[in-house]
Amino acid sequence: MSRSLTTALTVEGNRPSRCALPPGLEPARLPAHVAVIMDGNGRWAGQRKLPRVMGHREGVEALKRTLRLCSDWGIGSLTAYAFSTENWNRPGEEVSFLMTLFERVLAKELKALEQEQVRIRFLGDLEQLPEGLQQLIQDATDRTASNTGIRFNVCTNYGGRRELVRAARLLAQEVASGERDPDSIDEQAFASKLLTAGEPDPDLLIRTSGEQRISNFLLWQLAYAELHITDVLWPDFDETALVSALMDFQNRQRRFGGVASVSS
């Protein structure tokens, strides 16, 4: 992170130490995995009479802030929706701006990600991305794979339905080749074919800019996530907004289909 994580952290050995949580948040009840639909960049720019792409540029700063805070507070995984399979429907200029932005940011921030022990992965149909970006993604994934800090998943050319279809296809191929008995296909087997395999499901989904929809994000994984929708536009998302989301989460009672634990 260019206003690097290192400015906020002291480094002990190779591992950043954790910063104190803001008062009111209980460390033991933080979500292990936070997912975020970073929405509202265009509207943020529109409010300032700027081109939409300026909102995307500012959105990168919000993502860097959010990653730094989640890392500082010991949240295990952050999964961010950067570009959906439907976002190709935007004007060509906006799409190419976004692809170039992803390349620039990744190239610029890789060193800091490595130093801060972030494990970055990109989830989605990566073969459709520009060559240069694919190479940077491969490099960043490889160079941070053995890091021990926060797991940072960037959903790029990601679609939840496409991910489900892919999982079904992989399982079908195993059945067709005789490797797998159809009866062995259970929820665990299915989840193991998703792009998020090995990752716990998100506990908290944050969506900015007030839209009350999922927009094809993590359709399987969000089954029991708590939803926090805020009117804050993504480029304005800051520590106060993240603390509000975490407070909201800590005030929820998660039942997973059971009943509230009350003394009888």
Contacts with ligand IPE by CB under 6 A lie at 37-43, 81-84, 87, 98, 209, 211, 213, 215
Question: Nearest 5°: phi and psi at 76?
Answer: -70, -40
Residue 152 site contact among ligand IPE, Mg ion, none (CB < 5 to 8 Å, cut-off depends on kind): none
For residue 53, the minimal CB distance to ligand IPE (Å) is 9
39 touches Mg ion (CB under 5 A): yes
The one catalytic residue among 14, 87, 201, 216: 87
Q: Given the complex with ligand IPE, which of 37 and 242 has the nearer CB atom?
A: 37
Give dist(CA 105, CA 204) in Å, integer. 26
For residue 99, the minimal CB distance to ligand IPE (Å) is 11
Contact pattern from residue 45 through residue 84 relative to Mg ion, giving x for each residue in contact according to CB under 5 A and a dash for the rest: ----------------------------------------
For residue 221, the minimal CB distance to ligand IPE (Å) is 16
- Tell me which residue has its CB nearest to ligand IPE: 42
Please give the angle made by the CA atoms of 230, 234 and 240, to the nearest 5 degrees: 60
- Tell me which residue has its CB nearest to Mg ion: 39
The one catalytic residue among 39, 72, 203, 236: 39
Strands (DSSP E) contained in the chain are 11-12, 15-16, 33-37, 77-84, 119-123, 151-158, 204-207, 226-229
Q: Are strands 11-12 and 15-16 parallel, antiparallel or unpaired?
A: antiparallel
All residues at 6 or more sequence positions from 222 whose CB lies less than 8 Å from its CB, including other chains: 35, 201, 202, 205, 214
201 assigned to active site:
no
236 touches Mg ion (CB under 5 A): no
87 assigned to active site:
yes
Give dist(CA 128, CA 32) in Å, integer. 31
Residue position matching structure tokens 């933080």:
30
Give dist(CA 55, CA 40) in Å, integer. 8
Q: Which residues bind Mg ion (CB under 5 A)?
A: 39
Instruction: List the catalytic residues.
Output: 39, 87
